Amino acid sequence: MSAEGLSLSDQHSSHVEIEGVALRFGDRPVFSDLHCSFPRGKITVIMGPSGTGKSTLLRMIGGLQKPDQGCVRVAGQEIVGLSELELGRMRKQLGMLFQNGALLDSMSIFENVALPLREHGRQGEDEIRLHVRAGLEAVGLPDVDDLLPGELSGGMLRRAALARAIVSEPAVVLCDEPFSGLDPPNVSRIESLLRDLNRNLGLTLIVTSHHMASSLRMADQVLLLQEGHSISGSPQELAESRDSAIVDFMGEDGAEYLSHHVSVKEGH
């Protein structure tokens, strides 16, 4: 892609790109030559067996884990090799929801959600208050400002963590296992919140998930990680695939998605 082409085609192309990434922890290789990309304004769900590097991939995009080799580009900017200061600037365009929520136990929900705004240090107290309130309302938690994380249910905690991930109005939101440990009503709730954020704000969402049904429903693109390489496609393309590795991974959910999806499309 030419430098001149960036501003025009960037709007329709990848928001995040991974090229030729290799990473090992000690003698354990996680990625050997990973290539994948995440389209702007779309929802990509990263799936794959436990230990294949889904969280590690999100951490690389967030600049929290450097690859041994290769490029990681966010909005056209190469982030491997940036200083901590430069990474801090880059992270202003990212929101992150970590695996297991990770709210700080001793801080009120209000203060937890306000953290990214205080870290970025651009806003006064009144503005912070407005943004935190808006974030908590967007996730359906208007009355929990003064509570501690320990006083919320699992589903509420996950929504509070999501409010924290979006409070600074990032362009890209990274969500590591947003559905894990939630009961079906809370899975649906988080799923529709993520979809609404994507639709209403045009966010690029990169989500890891083991939850096949909701992943297939919400994804524009599914990225399947398997032993260091990736396969990507629309949910329908993956569900229709005859590739035995994909068929094995998707199991009955793939067939079920396909029959439902096709019958909905055909108006049955």
Does position 149 interact with ligand ATP (CB under 6 A)? The reply is no
Measured from the CB of residue 99, what is the shortest distance to ligand ATP in angstroms?
A: 6
Give 118 or 210: the residue with its C-beta nearer to ligand ATP.
210
Number of chain positions touching Mg ion (CB under 5 A): 2
The three state secondary structure string of the chain is CCCCHHHHHHCCCEEEEEEEEEEEECCEEEEEEEEEEEECCCEEEEECCCCCCHHHHHHHHCCCCCCCEEEEEECCEECCCCCHHHHHHHHCCEEEEECCECCCCCCCHHHHHHHHHHHHCCCCHHHHHHHHHHHHHHCCCCCCCCCCHHHCCHHHHHHHHHHHHHCCCCCEEEEECCCCCCCHHHHHHHHHHHHHHHHHHCCEEEEECCCHHHHHHHCCEEEEEECCEEEEECHHHHHHCCCHHHHHHHHHHHHHHHHHHHHHHCCC
Residue closer to ligand ATP, measured from CB, 53 or 62 = 53
Contact flags string 43-62 toward ligand ATP, x per CB under 6 A = -------xxxxxxx------
AA letter at 66: K
Instruction: Say which entry of ligand ATP, Mg ion, none residue 28 contacts (CB below 5 to 8 A, set by partner kind).
Output: ligand ATP
List CB contacts of 151: < 8 A, sequence separation 6 or more: none
- 42-61 positions binding Mg ion, by CB under 5 A: 54-55
The entry of Mg ion, ligand ATP, none near residue 50 (CB within 5 to 8 angstroms by kind) is: ligand ATP
Phi, psi of 141 (to 5 degrees): -130, 70
| Contact between 131 and ligand ATP per CB under 6 A | no
- In the complex, residue closest to Mg ion by CB: 55
Which phi and psi (to 5°) does residue 162 adopt? -70, -40
- Among positions 188-207, residues that touch Mg ion (CB under 5 A) are none
Which residues 182-201 are close enough to bind ligand ATP by CB under 6 A?
none
Least distance from C-beta 97 to ligand ATP, angstroms?
14
| Footprint on residues 133-152 left by Mg ion (CB under 5 A) | none
Chain-centroid distance, C-alpha 104: 20
Q: Output the smallest distance, CB 23 to ligand ATP, in A.
A: 8
Q: Which of 25, 88, 245, 248 binds ligand ATP (CB under 6 A)?
A: 25
Contacting range for ligand ATP; rule: CB under 6 A; set: 25-33, 88-96, 126-134, 190-198: 25-33
> Could you say whether residue 28 binds ligand ATP (CB under 6 A)?
yes
Q: Which does 97 bind (CB under 5 to 8 A by kind): ligand ATP, Mg ion, none?
A: none
For binding to ligand ATP (CB under 6 A), which residues are involved? 25, 28, 30, 50-56
For binding to Mg ion (CB under 5 A), which residues are involved? 54-55
